[in-house]
Amino acid sequence: MNIYIDESGSFVNASTVGKWNAVVAVAVPEAARRGLAYNLRQLKLRHGTPLAREIKLNALAESEYLDFLQAIADLNLAVFCTAMDAGSNTLAIVRERQRNHVSEVLRHVDKMRHEGGRLGVQLVASQLAKLSPQLYLQLVCQVNLMHNVVSNAIMYYAQHCPSTLREFRWRIDQKNTSRTDYEDAFEKLSPALLQSRSIAEPLMRVHGFDYSHMTQYEIEKGAPNYLKDEYGIEVEIGDALNIQKIVRGNIRFMDSRLSAGIQVADLLASGVRRCLRREFADNEAVAQALGALMLQAKDNEPSVSLVTLASAKPLDDETARLVLILTAHSKRMMKRSL
């Protein structure tokens, strides 16, 4: 499975609500990868954009964008999105949550038996502490997004294309030619944070689905050994998956100009952000088209994962209506018959 990730927005705190930012992941089975690249190529040709150049949402007519969304809806892909309103968090709340997060990373460091492991955890905590508030918010959203990809894409493709679960290739937009502190911190932090979350929220497995291609990601004896060996934490989980291996096995930050998938993720993230900000002429039509690419969430939750660090507040009526449209048009998670 190829997973392409990009974001739209700076995640800088805003003084008013409705200033949405979005991070999108596009999960694409290998069999559909060329089809995705073909549709992006056709969009560029129709628009007159050189194939070697990226095409951005603000360069497209709304009708062109809708046509593109409808074209890629025929592919066997799944889109995941996490969105955050920059006006829902104060700087004080962000900094407090960041400090608490650093403390949580260091909570078991004194129990670690190996000096190298302790130094590694301390380095990661230091990197996390040094992130600017906006980059910290971006990290929170991206980790949330990756958890949704791992938990929901596995269930979906175990029904529709089990062989794509043999390998996970993560491709994330690289912002500079040289590796940034954020990228380094993200690559080191995200696998451990995802594995920790999976203990509190174990991945569901459905009897009758085909998980046979995932044996290399299964954890023997039901629990991650490192939790006991390094931290002295006793955990028992049946049929657990090694999420660290799923994420670390094949992850790369790369120039979006070299990746059709990342370019598509950029177009989708920009579309979700603009739709939630109600900046399209026909926001409802775009919400329907974007929703058709997403997966139904569990417990009737929105297909777009809405994240805030502060106490959740109700959405305004129009934004809530658009989120309902996105959700109503999303793909069914479960086949009608097994």
Give the per-residue pLDDT at 153: 93
Give the per-residue pLDDT at 184: 76
Task: Give the dihedral sign, CA 204/205/209/214.
Answer: positive
Tens place of pLDDT per residue across the chain (338 aa): 999 999 999 999 888 889 999 999 999 999 999 999 999 999 999 999 999 999 999 999 999 999 999 999 999 999 999 999 999 888 999 999 999 888 877 776 665 555 665 676 677 788 888 889 998 999 899 989 999 999 899 999 999 999 999 999 999 999 876 667 778 778 777 877 776 677 667 677 778 889 999 999 887 654 445 445 544 444 444 456 788 888 888 999 999 999 999 999 999 999 999 999 999 999 999 999 999 999 998 877 899 999 988 877 789 999 999 999 999 999 998 875 54
| Spans of all domains in the chain | 2-328
How much is the pTM? 0.88
